[in-house]
Structure 1
Amino acid sequence: MHPLAKALRDPMIAVLLLATLLAIVLPATGDAREPIRAVSNAAIFVLFLVNGMRIARGDIARGLTNWRFFLPLGLWVFGIMALAGLGFSKLADNILPPLIALGFLYLGTLPSTIQSATSYTTIAGGNVALSVIGAALINIAGVFITAPLFGVLGGGDIASTGPDVIIRIALLLVLPFVIGQALQGWTFEWIAAHRARIVWLDRIVIGLAVYVAFSGAVEQGIGRDLSIVSGAWLVVLTLAFLLVANVGAWVASGALSLPYPDRIAFLFAGSQKSVAIGAPLAALLFPAQQAGYVIAPLLLYHLVQLMIAAPMAGFFAEQTAD
């Protein structure tokens, strides 16, 4: 099967599209909003509990010692990409609704996605161990870094970054992860044995968070605010941002003189953005009426990154095989 056709069959694409379509057709508004948000928050807690169980403590410890790879990766993800997001946000502010334009800044401050970065590094013949640990460390860091970084770079007027939000992030993201790490000795083997089924937990939780966010956006009239012309600009700018992310990560890894397999790991861990962190975190940072607007660039970016990562991985696999 052609790599692009295989990518299009990724269930995550169907989940995101279904959640968005359901929010358009049957949004959670009025009396239904709070119960759905409560269910989504409970699901987010369970997701981060499981994340704590499945990210090995030993991997985290080993990753912290490989500073030559992980320090530049962290600076790339939370430094260069965040500044690129700020630049794209300023550019988009002239042609897109303000909250959607701000979504590029939010996109730039997000961490990497673990599953697809690791999967495509494996297919491409890259350093899988570095990819797994790198994406995991960046994800953990993102829980603490993304919100304040977004606020500092210009999103503080929109996002709630006060004590109440910090407490919600701690209770729904940090606390369950810490509990999962504490329980890991008893649960790690069970999690590993049921990995294929647990992947669906990720998808369901992300789908719920996207549905809640887009329901608020639909209620506020995102379909009216986003015209055909501005929608086309959203696609163009998202594709341009993805190009900057991939080309920049590859060039940066070359400037670091990393071995070829490590460069592949840096590329996918540095350019893939996490909707698994982005969608739940948006539900905590932004009012329900705004979150759907802000994550619009993230959802489009995530869909396109899934579609282009497979052909890229196939190309690198051919290079490493030669």
Structure 2
Amino acid sequence: MKALISRLNLDPYVLALASTVVLASLLPARGAFANVIETVTDFAIALLFFLHGAKLSREAVISGVKAWKLHLTTMAITFGLFPLIGIGLHALPWLDPQLATGLLFLTLLPSTVQSSIAFTAIAGGNVAAAVCGASFSNLAGIFVTPLLTTALISGEGQALSSDPVIAIAVQLLLPFLAGHFLRPVIGGFVTRHKKMVGYVDRGSILLVVYTAFGAAVLEGLWQKVTLGELALIVVISLLVLLIVMSAALFLGKALGFAHEDRMVLLFCGSKKSLASGVPLAGVLFPAAQVGAVILPLMFFHQIQLMVCAVLARRFAAQVEAETEAEVGASGATPA
């Protein structure tokens, strides 16, 4: 089974997410148990962002300012080009309104952190700049995503769960700032126990997914969403990724970035964060609506991992071939 997963470039965590969706579809939380799960989920979201704050290195933020041109371009793709595409998708008249909202919300999210850095490294990119760019994106996402969601989604007649300013401040911003300011005290512990922190991160997201899909199932989600619509989400996700990646490659060359920085722009600019998107949706949208809203994100997440894995290996092979050609041309003996 592990060999099959590896061969198909499937993320085991995505399989865990799919299993959680199945569990929520068959055994959604009801009654008093649902109230308990919602309370635990709220705590889990706060803990998740507390850990995000504790993991953010102040040194990485300071050093990243030096590459401001690269980071501004990456942010322009993440919070500029992507939302423009999302607005276009949201306007399509033949899309289910909730799925259209989910596609738009997907485009408003920040970039991933771990996978963006990993793929940049594989492709021979600027890892330090990738760390900074991904950190900037996630930090900005705490503010920018709720603002864009309020302006673009609630403005279209979709109800948000509560006052987004209060919700974000209490559940996301305060825990994030608390974690970051306590980094000198707990940063060593977080670094030494990365595996345990990772389990908390992923477990929190699985809990939010279970709660969200359980509430959506009780509201008739699977009676409203067809297999054809799910297939359409896959096609749209592929097209969106193709457009954004093409734009990132074009901008990287047009702005004269070196290969290392072009890889940062490609892999940080084209990704969307499941880790940030699921809890943000849990805070911003009513419980019964969250399941449909994050459905496109879950598909996009796996698709971006598969596509980026292929591209990263291809760029790595290209860099290796160019290095060997340069060594051969110079007549030097490789180390």
- Which TM-score band (shorter chain)? over 0.9
Q: Is the CA contact 2:171–2:283 (under 8 Å) kept in the aligned structure 1? A: no
Within the alignment, does 1:108 sit opposite 2:107 as a pair? Answer: yes
Q: Is the CA contact 2:54–2:182 (under 8 Å) kept in the aligned structure 1? A: yes
Give me the identity figure in percent: 38
Moved more, 169-178 or 182-191: 182-191
Q: Which amino acid aligns with 1:243?
A: L
In structure 2, C-alpha distance between the alignment counterparts of 1:228 and 1:160, rounded to whole Å: 27
Taking a change above 3 Å as real, the CA distance of residues 189 and 219 of structure 1, as seen in their structure-2 partners, is same
Aligned residue pairs total 318
Q: Which amino acid aligns with 1:238?
A: S
5+ residue gaps, structure 2: 322-335
1:3 is displaced (CA, Å) by: 10
In structure 1, C-alpha distance between the alignment counterparts of 2:31 and 2:252, rounded to whole Å: 49
1:4 is displaced (CA, Å) by: 6.0
Counterpart of 1:56?
57
Moved more, 59-68 or 82-91: 59-68
1:255 is displaced (CA, Å) by: 2.1
Q: Which amino acid aligns with 1:237?
A: I
1:6 is displaced (CA, Å) by: 6.9
Q: Which amino acid aligns with 1:56?
A: S
Within the alignment, does 1:177 sit opposite 2:176 as a pair? Answer: yes
Taking a change above 3 Å as real, the CA distance of residues 33 and 2 of structure 1, as seen in their structure-2 partners, is closer
Counterpart of 1:132?
131
Q: Is the CA contact 1:23–1:215 (under 8 Å) kept in the aligned structure 2? A: yes
1:250 is displaced (CA, Å) by: 2.0
5+ residue gaps, structure 1: none
Counterpart of 2:43?
42
Within the alignment, does 1:117 sit opposite 2:116 as a pair? Answer: yes
Task: Give the TM-score normalised by structure 1.
Answer: 0.93
Moved more, 18-27 or 189-198: 189-198
Moved more, 30-39 or 257-266: 30-39
Structure 1 residues 16-51: Cα deviation after superposition (integer angstroms, max 9, x where no partner)? 112211111111233322211111111111111111
Structure 1 residues 235-267: Cα deviation after superposition (integer angstroms, max 9, x where no partner)? 211221222222222222222211101111111
Helix, strand or coil at the partner of 1:295: helix
Task: Give the TM-score normalised by structure 2.
Answer: 0.89
In structure 1, C-alpha distance between the alignment counterparts of 2:237 and 2:287, rounded to whole Å: 23
Q: Is the CA contact 1:159–1:285 (under 8 Å) kept in the aligned structure 2? A: no
Taking a change above 3 Å as real, the CA distance of residues 204 and 161 of structure 1, as seen in their structure-2 partners, is closer
Counterpart of 2:7?
5
Structure 1 residues 269-295: Cα deviation after superposition (integer angstroms, max 9, x where no partner)? 111100111111111111111111111
Counterpart of 2:332?
none
Q: Which amino acid aligns with 1:129?
A: A
Q: Is the CA contact 1:102–1:155 (under 8 Å) kept in the aligned structure 2? A: no
